[in-house]
Amino acid sequence: MSLIIGAKFFMNKIEYIRQSHKLTNSRLRKWLDTKYQIFNERNHYAALLWKVAAWVIFGMVSFISWLSFVVSIFVDSKYTTHYMECEIANDKLSDVDAYRYLLNKQLEYTRRLSYGSVPPKEQRRIDKTFEYLFSLYPAPNIEEEDPADDRHREVVENIAEVKEIVTAVADYTEKKQEEEAERKEKETALIAQAQKRKESNINRSGFEPIPIDFCPRLTDHQIEILAKNINKIGAFKRDVTAREIELILICKHTEPLQCSHNKLLALLLELLSIDMFITSKWQRVADHYNCFTSKHGKRLTAKDLSSAKQQADIIDSKKYDMITQCIEELKSGK
């Protein structure tokens, strides 16, 4: 069912300030006049003195009120109770029109909420604001309305749908925020873990020895992506599993992996180090812990890997593109 709600042009900030100032002044004037009537019934001269004092008070309060509303130009207040009440009063809306207006504002807020730019604390405040205003202007009873009012009928019929949309968007936004927070927390933990390993390897003289492993900064999902792409590239003589890659990266492997092309492996490891997925000392680590062998079964030393890295620019362009695509997938985590 399509959701169609009557169009409404919301007032701008200048109109809001003018209307707010007008409402404030009218309420203050009404209160002062009430007090004047009370004084006048008791003593005419006291009432005159009160009238003079009242105008002084009115002038001061009006000026302060005007200044406070001018400040609101620089504040996003269109989802506050006062702002929406002023709009309703400014356009002299009936209860039904006010309800439609609130639905429009709620849909506008829902679209903004879907971008994830509203902090949770602000969301709770705005939700309470709409809850309060909807209690003042509840959904009209369709039986009491003119059956010919199709627009009103459609608004009432879609109340449940509007609420479902708002709830779904709010839940989705909250879920995405939780996922983002969890991702950042894992990333921070990985970086802290790598830094801790690095610091533990530095002795008192300040010399930094060979790291205890490749210092991987990869999640389990990223390791699976890496293993899949390594098999696609054909860097080793056989397909490898994510578990084997994980053991190699932490140097807990039982036997080295045999390369099919040294240059492919060297380029892949170099790009991983450039993007800080592994240590920049990967050549020394691979040599020290006997991580790889050539296609002839010879142990690959740091010198061999360095030489292969220097020749990486002459590898097949298709293979090069596959390796760079692997790095991009690791960055996006997809």
pLDDT digits (tens, 9 = 90+) for 80-114: 776 777 777 777 788 888 888 888 888 887 777 76
The predicted structure's pLDDT at residue 257: 93
Distance CA 334, CA 149 (A): 51
Please check whether residues 21 and 160 belong to one and the same domain: yes
Please check whether residues 165 and 255 belong to one and the same domain: no
**pTM summary value:** 0.41
The predicted structure's pLDDT at residue 205: 45
Average pLDDT, the chain: 78
Question: Percent of the chain at pLDDT above 70?
Answer: 76
Q: Are 30 and 36 in contact (CB under 8 A)?
A: no
When divided into structural domains, the chain yields a total of: 2
CA angle (277 as vertex; 271, 278 as ends), nearest 5: 85
The predicted structure's pLDDT at residue 6: 37
Look at residue 313 and tell me if it is in a domain. Answer: yes
Please check whether residues 226 and 154 belong to one and the same domain: no
Please check whether residues 157 and 280 belong to one and the same domain: no
Distance CA 205, CA 184 (A): 34
Please check whether residues 165 and 248 belong to one and the same domain: no
What the block records as the tokens of 132 is 């309060």
Domain that holds residue 262: 220-332
Neighbours of 160 (CB within 10 A): 9
Please check whether residues 40 and 124 belong to one and the same domain: yes
Band of residue 135 on the pLDDT scale cut at 50, 70, 90: confident
Please check whether residues 148 and 19 belong to one and the same domain: yes
Look at residue 205 and tell me if it is in a domain. Answer: no
Look at residue 211 and tell me if it is in a domain. Answer: no
The predicted structure's pLDDT at residue 4: 35
Please check whether residues 157 and 275 belong to one and the same domain: no
End position of a domain, from candidates 147, 172, 197: 172
The per-residue pLDDT for range 211-250, each reduced to its tens digit, is 888 999 999 999 999 999 999 999 999 999 999 999 999 9
| Most confident range, picked from 37-51, 59-73, 74-88 | 37-51
Question: Percent of the chain at pLDDT above 90?
Answer: 22
Look at residue 319 and tell me if it is in a domain. Answer: yes
Look at residue 177 and tell me if it is in a domain. Answer: no
Look at residue 291 and tell me if it is in a domain. Answer: yes
Residues whose CB falls within 8 Å of the CB of residue 227, separated by 6 or more in sequence, listed in order: 240, 241, 242, 244, 245
Please check whether residues 243 and 325 belong to one and the same domain: yes
Please give the residue that has the higher pLDDT: either 72 or 55: 55
